[in-house]
Amino acid sequence: MQNANDFIYKSDCSHFKGHIPCKPHKEKGVHCSDCQYYLSKDKIILIIKLGAIGDVIRTTPLIHKIIKEHPNALIWWLSYTPDILPLEVDRKFKYDAETITIFQATNFFKIINLDKDPQAGALTSLLKAEEKFGFTLLNGKSAPINELAEHKFLTGIFDDFSQKNKKSYLEEIFEICGWKFQGEEYILDCDENIKWAIPNEGKKIVGLNTGCGERWISRLWKNENWIELINLLKDNGYFPLLLGGSQEDNNNKYLSEQSDAYYAGHFSLQKFISLVNQCDAVVSAVTMAMHIAIGLKKPLILMNNIFNPYEFELYGRGEIIQPEKECKCYFSQNCKNPDYFCMDYIRPLTIFNSLNKILRNQ
């Protein structure tokens, strides 16, 4: 008769759960004493990136570097939207009291906090780790942990410093960790089992993400511009596909009625990612859909008026189009130009010409 002494367990294995059987045991019946699936990972690296879904997606290139530099480390990630995190993340945590309790009882190898939110900084300051990178909380306010984070910190508090910045977001976050960005791509999972019946009749599909969110309405491109672009695309043999979430639903229905552009509706996050994956190219302002398109390696025409264009990494697969007239709305929610709305000076023909060049070279 077997007793507890006959069983050993290896808590450093990446499959080990501690409170329930591991996956190899459940599926294959193996034990730690003779398990061919044993994979030692004896350190934990925690990434704190709470933020919006797009911000989380654009932080995933760090995973490549972590796996390369620390192959024996587990990657944990804390986010408000853990469902967007890729399979390469070993444990995905949502910010709540239960998670914080677990973290407080854990000794981390590294903590990388890329958020300047007070709650993220406070948590970083409280947790135990051999090394910490990014931002913490000092006297109740966000502060850089060390000199590696100072550049990124300053771009967030001084507009003039931010406007002069020539580093991309990815260069900045790699720098925060003491690394150099070398073109590491976004990591974004897409469910290939989702099927679509888009009536494009073999035409190349151009996804048009028409919204810009509620916060930054200074980025909004007017409906007449979208309709003009849709007509240019249709007249030249392309298939325009309207994209958006629940906030854009009514307006996308209107655009579809006015232009006969195809609109399939709004969907869950994973289904929306799958829909974007059907596109041959995407047009968007700075939005979650922009980051999804980059993550799916889609050619992207990015309309930008209020952010530093050096911030964005398109990996050579797209183009940033900015207004022909000066935009004085840097990081402003509403347009501050007294005599004109600067997004009116991004012309539909300019967007079409850039798209046409990219699509004809595919």
CA distances from 25 to 13, 34, 65, 159, 220 (A): 12, 11, 30, 55, 53
pLDDT at 216: 67
pLDDT at 185: 98
**230-250 per-position pLDDT tens digit:** 999 999 999 999 999 999 999
Average pLDDT over the chain reads: 93
Angstrom distance (rounded) from CA 248 to CA 254:
10
User: Are 94 and 100 in contact, with CB atoms under 8 Å apart?
Assistant: no
CA distances from 252 to 113, 227, 347 (A): 37, 11, 20
Q: Is the dihedral of CA 188, 192, 195, 198 positive or negative?
A: positive
Cα distance between the two ends of the chain: 67
Interhelix angle 288-295/269-276, rounded to 10 degrees, is: 60
Per-residue pLDDT of the chain (362 residues; tens, 9 = 90+): 455 555 778 777 878 787 888 888 888 888 888 888 877 678 999 999 998 899 999 999 999 999 999 999 999 999 999 999 999 999 999 999 999 999 999 999 999 999 999 999 999 999 999 999 999 999 999 999 999 999 999 999 999 999 999 999 999 999 999 999 999 999 999 999 999 999 999 999 999 999 876 666 788 899 999 999 999 999 999 999 999 999 999 999 999 999 999 999 999 999 999 999 999 999 999 999 999 999 999 999 999 998 999 999 999 999 999 999 888 888 887 777 888 888 999 999 999 999 999 998 87
> Domains of the chain by range and CATH?
7-34 (no CATH), 43-176 (3.40.50.2000), 205-360 (3.40.50.2000)
List, in sequence order, the alpha helices (H) in the chain. 23-28, 53-57, 61-69, 97-104, 118-126, 150-155, 159-164, 169-176, 223-235, 249-259, 269-276, 288-295, 348-360
User: Which of the 8 DSSP states describes residue 221?
Assistant: P
**118-130 per-position pLDDT tens digit:** 999 999 999 999 9
Q: Which two tokens stand for residue 62?
A: 């760090």
User: Which of the 8 DSSP states describes residue 275?
Assistant: H
Backbone angles phi, psi at 300, to 5 degrees: -130, 130
50 CA to centre of own chain: 11
Angstrom distance (rounded) from CA 196 to CA 286:
26
- Kind of pairing, strands 141-144 and 128-138? antiparallel
User: Are 190 and 273 in contact, with CB atoms under 8 Å apart?
Assistant: yes
User: Are 223 and 250 in contact, with CB atoms under 8 Å apart?
Assistant: no
